[in-house]
Amino acid sequence: MNIHDVPVETVRRVNAYLRAAPYRTTGRYDWRIPALVAESWVTAGASPIYTNDLARRFGASRRTICTAIQRLVAGGVIRQAGTSADGRRLYEPCLDIGEAAFGPEQRHVG
């Protein structure tokens, strides 16, 4: 799916999710990963998180990224949605945290 074909309701829910996610955990990289998970979920559904790529991208160790992912799962920011054919864990965003924090109705101003 192209990012421009995303329904407005999904955009609203992802926006609320991305505003609420940083307040659920306190790790150094925890605020960056939910946006990547949400983007891949919108375009392709649940997808794996490649820890080696993120570690290189953020200038951190793979262990640090794995710990951040564990914190995000424990904090209810992302959840495991299954496994891929090659055994990788697939993750998806927990969009309900945005609605819990900001309510189901958000008005667009402008």
Domain of residue 73: give its range.
3-102
**Residue 86 falls within a domain, yes or no?**
yes
Instruction: Tell me which residue of 53, 54, 50, 44 sits closest to 6, measured CA to CA.
Output: 44
Query: From CA 41, how far away is CA 13, in angstroms rounded?
Result: 12
What integer pLDDT is reported at residue 89 of this predicted model?
95
In a domain, 16, yes or no: yes
> Does residue 95 lie in a domain region?
yes
Q: Tens-of-pLDDT digits for all 110 residues of the chain?
A: 667 788 888 989 999 999 999 999 888 999 999 999 999 999 889 989 999 999 999 999 999 999 999 999 999 999 999 999 999 999 999 999 988 877 766 555 44
Q: DSSP letter at 76?
A: T
Q: What is the pTM of this model?
A: 0.85
Alpha helices in the chain (DSSP H): 8-20, 33-44, 51-58, 62-74, 96-102
Specify the number of domains making up the chain. 1
Supply the CATH number for residue 59's domain: 1.10.10.10
Residue 110 lies in a domain: no
Burial class (CB in 10 A: 0-12, 13-18, 19+), 33: buried
pLDDT confidence of residue 102:
76
- Residue 107 in any domain: the answer is no
